[in-house]
Amino acid sequence: MTGVGSAYATLEKRFARLSAIGGASAILQWDSAAIMPEGGSEARAEQMAALGLISHELLTDAAVGDLLDKAEADAASLNDWQRANLQEMRLRWRHATAVPADLVEAHSRATSRCEMTWRKAREEDDFASLSPSLTEVVRLTQEIAAAKSAAFDLSPYDALLSEYEPGCSRADIDPLFADLEAFLPDFLAEVRERQAAAPQIITPEGPFDPAIQKELGLDLMTALGFDFNHGRLDVSHHPFTGGIPDDVRLTTRYRQDDFTESLMGILHETGHALYEQGLPKEWRSQPVGLARGMALHESQSLLIEMQLSRGPEFLSFALPKIRKAFGGTGPAWDQENLLRLYLKVEPGFIRVDADEVTYPLHVILRYRLEKALLSGDLQVPDLPGAWNEGMKTLLGLTPPNDRFGCLQDIHWPGGAIGYFPTYTLGALSAAQIFASMSEALPDLSTQVRAGDFTAMMDWLRANVHSLGSSKSTAEILTQATGSPLGTDAFKRHLKARYLS
């Protein structure tokens, strides 16, 4: 191609290179969390910083701006996916050019080091050892937020939020969270009162061999449609899904006294992984082929873990496998008992272990705190006290130590300020999507009981996964469910599951 018409093709080649570099970084990030020895942390920080700088330089090269201008002038010659891709290219370019290269490099190096410090600090319940490196990460994140705020004419927090959920702002989140905060306390009290009057839950007794737990997880992942030719399951301090769509890396963690934590963690991450594996193959090297945003990503993990896997239909399918894996017999292994165990509602300290009723309150706390950290209203050394006060207000609990408090999450050490709201936005989206899918697939309950997830996955692929970033989150959600994001479907789901 020559002339103006070649600008878009040139951009595609450049973004394909950026995709390859980003993929390499993702695998290195997984490696550092799953199998890298502690002594490799400094070298890995330098490697990640170098790859980040190379990507930044490729994206911010002066030629890219000219190519974008030329391609946009000739946009009429492009098809719908190419125009959407061009729009995503421009967005990524605007984010990158807003931040100086030396700040990008410094932030990458600081977060890599802080993540390694966090692992040890969390294990040893030693916030003081994390505080200096976290302070540096917050400082650099504030600088990035200020730069992007000026470039996008957004508040600093909204500028960071837009990296994880494009088009979303505090003005969208605040009324949703206010509605949940008004609804959940009374609802929580009613659910706990009802559960207290039910037969006592019998907890299955371990120990539960981690190797058997893993095999059970692999079995259920296979049933749901995870492609192990393009992914794997490992162990890390904090469960996550990483890698790339053609090589998805899931992690979980195991406890010998409780198999449900790892099992639900695996199912949660499988939801993320299925979304990644369902992204449009022909566009995976381009921005338009990436997952739309973290709210939609979280909707897919919560749809599998909460909407599907904690329902009686899924348990009916999975229970024979669970009993066989652990040799379970007796009342503790009855379906009704295990269902009550899965649906037990009780305020707790750890977000990733929280039930779906109390989980949004964990997110609301983090949302408030990270806004205060970014604005400077809250200093890092004061974080433990602010955290404990917020936990007391929202959940009626005071963490016994920082390991059960502000040290539990990796997000802030990794520089991910603006990420936390997407968890609850995802829960709201999951409820809407599952309700619409159930209406579209009247035999879904029967299929789930039989362990047949084909129709479910086909519907999700058609209505969510295969769209990539060709549309906005709002457009995808409205097209799939008929409504913009709200709290009604989520509240209906909770009432039907816990009070009916």
What is d(CA 24, CA 132) in angstroms, rounded to the nearest whole number? 29
Residue 366 has phi, psi (to 5 degrees) of: -65, -35
Half-sphere exposure of 447 (CA within 13 A, CB side): 15
DSSP state for residue 199 in the 8-state scheme: P
Longest dimension (CA), the chain: 75
Going across the sheet that includes 231-235, the strands are 231-235, 247-252, 241-244
Residue type, 236: S
Residues 6+ apart with CB under 8 A from 3: none
Q: What is the pLDDT of residues 254-303, one digit of tens each?
A: 999 999 989 999 999 999 999 999 999 999 999 999 999 999 999 999 99
pLDDT score of 5: 66
pLDDT score of 1: 40
Q: Which residues pair with 347 in a beta bridge?
A: none
Which pTM was predicted?
A: 0.93
Find tokens 């992204």 and name the residue.
279
Beta-strand relationship, 241-244 and 231-235: unpaired
Taking the chain (500 residues) in runs of 10, the rounded mean pLDDT of each run is 71 97 95 92 90 92 95 96 97 93 90 93 97 98 97 96 94 98 96 95 95 97 98 91 96 94 94 98 97 96 96 97 96 95 96 93 98 98 98 96 97 96 97 98 98 98 98 97 97 96
- Tokens read off for 341: 């165990």
Residues 6+ apart with CB under 8 A from 392: 398
Span(s) in the chain for CATH 1.10.1370.30:
171-498
∠ CA 62-65-68, nearest 5°, is 145
Q: What is the CATH number of domain 171-498?
A: 1.10.1370.30
Residue type, 365: L
Residues, the chain: 500
What is d(CA 127, CA 465) in angstroms, rounded to the nearest whole number? 39
Active site residues: 269
What is d(CA 140, CA 169) in angstroms, rounded to the nearest whole number? 21
Closest CA to 148 of 102, 188, 98: 98
Are the C-beta atoms of 276 and 288 separated by less than 8 Å? no
Are the C-beta atoms of 287 and 245 separated by less than 8 Å? no
What is d(CA 309, CA 316) in angstroms, rounded to the nearest whole number? 10
The CA R_g of the chain, rounded to the nearest whole Å, is: 23
- Tokens read off for 231: 């992914």
- Tokens read off for 333: 């292994």
- Tokens read off for 56: 């930044």
What is d(CA 68, CA 234) in angstroms, rounded to the nearest whole number? 40
Are the C-beta atoms of 356 and 427 separated by less than 8 Å? yes
Are the C-beta atoms of 467 and 296 separated by less than 8 Å? no
Are the C-beta atoms of 11 and 64 separated by less than 8 Å? yes
- Tokens read off for 388: 């404990």
∠ CA 433-364-479, nearest 5°, is 20
What is d(CA 205, CA 167) in angstroms, rounded to the nearest whole number? 47
